[in-house]
Amino acid sequence: MALIGTDISFAKVLLTQGDLVAIPTETVYGLAANAFNPEAVTKVFTTKQRPTFDPLIVHTDSLGKIADFVEEIPETAMQLAKQFWPGPFTILLKKKAIVPDLVTAGLETVAVRIPRHPITQSLLKQLDFPLAAPSANPFGYISPTTAQHVDDQLGDKIGYILDGGASTIGVESTIIGFEEGQTLVYRLGGMSVESLEEVIGKVKLMPHSSSNPSAPGMLKSHYAPKKSLILGDIPMLLEKYKHEKLAILSFQETYTSLENSHYLSLKGDLGEAAQNLFSKLRILDNLPVDKIIAELVPDHGLGKAVNDRLKRAAAK
């Protein structure tokens, strides 16, 4: 078990001496290290058992501090930054040499985010270095949305978990980047495509790949429970697997009369569905069942991110 608390000064001491601290954000909890200290960043990769070809997101609290470690912020990026930061939103920018290659897995761009969670905002304000932080879960597993989730899996490996309550967005940040004048969405997430497009017009979605390590954000099988998860029409899946013990994850409360059945949102609210997704998947993964069956949610707004995570959780 790790120490869990709300002591920002203690978190600062640990991070400054090169240790790891789990931090709350509005999307998911992160496993943070001083982004400018390669030894500290190495601990992130070993603790998560994350392959070093998968780059990290760098978190800070102001555009001024970002200017210290990126070459430039293009006009479109600036428009989005002004609109959506602090928030569940990450931008790929050309890095300066001060960002260790380990953080970016040798890429020329660094992923940058200003998170909105007040505890982490206040921590970042007190630091004179940014924090490299992936989601605080073992590589490939479901991301944590509470301090308890972090403790359950990484508790014996980290010194301190800053407790900021349950993450209000519940899915990771939306990642965008720029290539040949085009704005690309590298990962769907807590900022909807519709809201991005209201500010900058049409954006393009990057396709997933399970085989291309040069686009690591695109790994298809990710965010996955240990149990096999099958996506489809729930009544059909109930019939198909009627001889097995099943857990059910539905969008609304349709199947609550059945055993081991959970839903994402009573009212059919997509934001609430996103907020509940990972904690529900953890609950289902720990039930005494053979399989989890689940359905997609309406594919707009945050529903797109929920469906993306469900599809990745189902991917082999």
In whole angstroms, the minimum distance from the beta carbon of 55 to ligand TXA comes to 3
Q: Which CB atom, from 63 or from 289, has the smaller least distance to ligand TXA?
A: 63
Phi first, then psi: give them for residue 204, nearest 5 degrees: -110, 140
Q: Is 47 in the site for Mg ion (CB under 5 A)?
A: no
Phi first, then psi: give them for residue 194, nearest 5 degrees: -60, -45
In whole angstroms, the minimum distance from the beta carbon of 254 to ligand TXA comes to 30
Q: Which CB atom, from 135 or from 276, has the smaller least distance to Mg ion?
A: 135
Quote the CA–CA distance of 100 and 245 in Å, as a whole number. Answer: 48
DSSP bridge pairs for 3: 160
Q: By CB under 6 A, what part of segment 135-154 binds ligand TXA?
A: 135
The partner in contact with residue 34, picked from Mg ion, ligand TXA, none with C-beta cut-offs of 5 to 8 angstroms by kind, is none
SS3 for 161-226 is EECCCCCCCCCCCEEEEEECCEEEEEECCCCCHHHHHHHHCCCEECCCCCCCCCCHHHCCCCCCCC
Q: Which pair of tokens denotes residue 32?
A: 């943070």
Grouping H, G, I as helix, E, B as strand and the rest as coil, residue 302 is coil
Among positions 8, 131, 175, 264, the unique one binding ligand TXA when judged by CB under 6 A: 175
Q: Near Mg ion by CB under 5 A, which window of 113-121, 130-138, 152-160, 202-210? A: 130-138
Q: What is the CA radius of gyration of the chain?
A: 19
Q: Would strands 131-132 and 30-34 be described as parallel, antiparallel, or unpaired?
A: antiparallel
CB contact set of 287 (below 8 Å; sequence gap of 6+): 247, 260
Among positions 36, 61, 113, 170, the unique one binding ligand TXA when judged by CB under 6 A: 113
CB 22 within 8 A of CB 161: yes
Q: Near ligand TXA by CB under 6 A, which window of 5-13, 49-57, 151-159, 198-206? A: 49-57
Q: By CB under 6 A, what part of segment 71-110 binds ligand TXA?
A: 90, 92, 104, 107, 109-110
In whole angstroms, the minimum distance from the beta carbon of 25 to ligand TXA comes to 5
In whole angstroms, the minimum distance from the beta carbon of 135 to Mg ion comes to 3
In whole angstroms, the minimum distance from the beta carbon of 106 to ligand TXA comes to 10
Up-side HSE of residue 144: CA atoms within 13 Å toward CB?
30
Among positions 114, 133, 246, 284, the unique one binding ligand TXA when judged by CB under 6 A: 133
Element (H, E) at 200: helix 193-200
Among positions 60, 104, 109, 135, the unique one binding Mg ion when judged by CB under 5 A: 135
Quote the CA–CA distance of 271 and 207 in Å, as a whole number. Answer: 24
Among positions 216, 268, 271, 298, the unique one binding ligand TXA when judged by CB under 6 A: 216
Interface residues with ligand TXA (CB under 6 A) are 25, 27-28, 30, 54-57, 90, 92, 104, 107, 109-111, 113, 133-135, 172-173, 175, 186, 216-217
